[in-house]
Amino acid sequence: MAAFIFSIFACQPLCIAGVTGPITVLNKTIYDILKTRPDAPNYLHFIGWVYLWAAILHWIAAIFNAANFLRYVTRFSCDTFGFYVSWVYLQYGVQVLTRQFTESPSGTEGAYVSIILALVLLTAGHLFVIAAQSTFFHRIMRRFFADYGMPISVVGCSGLAYWGHFNASNPATLPTAGAFSAAGGREWLVRFWELPAKWVGIAFPFGLVLFILFFFDHNVSSLIAQGSEFPLRKPPGFHWDFFWLGITTFIAGLIGVPAPNGLIPQAPMHTQSLVVMGLKLKDDEEVGVSPDGEKALGGVREGVEHPVAVVEQRVSNLVQGSLCLVLMTGPFLHVLGLVPRGVLAGLFWFMGTDALRGSGITAKFLYLFQDDSLVPLHEPLRKVRPSMIWLILTIELAGFGATMAITQTIAAIGFPIVIFLLIPIRTHVVPLLPFTHKELAILDGPTASPFTMESVGGSI
């Protein structure tokens, strides 16, 4: 649903929308809170009102150009939030596996096989990434590894589960229902208007929290998908897309599914897959552009690859949404039901570790532990005092730790507020610390290019 709407109507179709880890945390927390009430209402009816209140706030925010607030969002907030999302994926992978020790029909043997499958998928996925970024193989093959390495890993690991003793252990597979049918055999339409009046009012603060989460999560996903490392040419439209996000949120509540929004790390991964590479000589003279990213001069390849364009289109987002629809048909649901849950856990682990690998927080840590004599002379962090790098890392990790800690408690309903507080901390607290202006510019800066930020009034 989200893929169809955002690929056709949105101004930023490169941003992949779907169900994220944070919205799953929020939905589960609301469910846990309602379970404690003896007079608890129907969960889907209550969520329907939560989503409706959130949708109304989305529309109001879009009409009054609230997305202009994004000019205060910098890499500090994005890196901290991205670090949190990465660890949520890792945690979900662990939860998928640990539940099988009590839920697996074959007992602990099937659970241990699921762990092996998860580790194999994690390893295979990263091996494909390493091969794609290496200087080995032909450029077409490297591009193939980058684009199709993970699907190959999923198919291969799923097949491995049916080989020899692995098949005998009967590892748990993904649960499926009938074709185009809602979970639990319920009807698709959620009659949320039947919710008692008092619960309609109680749903409003939950809707406000959801609005705060999506305002940050979706817009940050859009920013990262249009990061300064991508040479985009088509203008963004944050206000327009946020209005459409309100529509998808309302529809999600109407049919009883989790509300979609921008995905991290899938959104920037989508843009990265569409980058066209060119070749730049050591004297920075660009000598060629090719869809596959290389140019040969006199039979000798020189220089380094760098992005020169992005294939900005709506087709890839629409196609991936169409494929999700295809998977809801009977034959493909049967195939989907053959995928072991261990493979799903490994996929979560891969997404989490791959996002951590590219995180700005990870990059700062790696710099601090590198041999100084082997650090390139042009490395910008050389111009920053190590104590200041440790200080910014401490603040980012404190924000990550606070967010992660609160999501482990019943107070997890407030974690979007903690995430949102990262913005005023960056704008009002961090500048008071002993950073020089030059150091702060290196350690933190705009997430997207001036071209992208212009639509929200420019960056701070």
Other C-beta atoms within 10 Å of 77: how many?
27
Give the H or E element holding residue 356.
helix 341-357
Q: Is-cis flag, bond preceding 265, omega within 30?
A: yes
Question: Among candidates 4, 2, 15, which has minimal Cα distance to 268?
Answer: 15
Residue 427: DSSP 8-state: I
Residue 277: DSSP 8-state: E
- DSSP labels for 124-143? HHHHHHHHHTSS-S-HHHHH
Question: Among candidates 294, 299, 222, which has minimal Cα distance to 12?
Answer: 222
Cα 231 to Cα 282, 294, 307, 360, 391, distances in angstroms: 20, 17, 7, 20, 32
Question: Among candidates 62, 78, 67, which has minimal Cα distance to 454?
Answer: 67
Q: What is the three-class DSSP state of 18?
A: strand
Is residue 232 within 8 Å of residue 37, measured between CB atoms?
Answer: no
Residue 345 has which token pair? 């856990």
Q: How far apart are CA 458 and CA 40, in angstroms?
A: 46
Secondary structure, 3-state, 279-320: EECCCCCEEEECCCCCCEECCEECCEEEEEEECCCCHHHHHH
In tens digits, the chain (460 residues) has pLDDT values of 788 888 888 888 888 888 887 888 888 889 988 988 888 899 999 999 999 999 999 999 999 988 888 888 888 988 898 898 899 899 999 999 998 888 766 678 888 999 999 999 999 999 999 998 888 888 888 888 888 889 999 999 999 999 888 888 888 888 887 788 887 778 888 898 889 999 999 999 999 999 998 998 888 888 888 877 788 888 888 889 999 999 999 999 999 888 998 887 788 888 888 888 777 765 544 444 444 444 444 444 456 777 778 888 888 888 888 888 888 888 888 888 889 999 999 999 999 999 898 888 999 999 999 888 888 888 889 999 999 999 999 999 999 999 888 888 877 778 888 888 888 998 889 999 999 999 998 998 877 777 777 777 777 6
Secondary structure, 3-state, 405-420: HHCCCHHHHHHHHHHH
pTM: 0.82
Cα 236 to Cα 164, 226, 264, 307, distances in angstroms: 52, 9, 18, 19
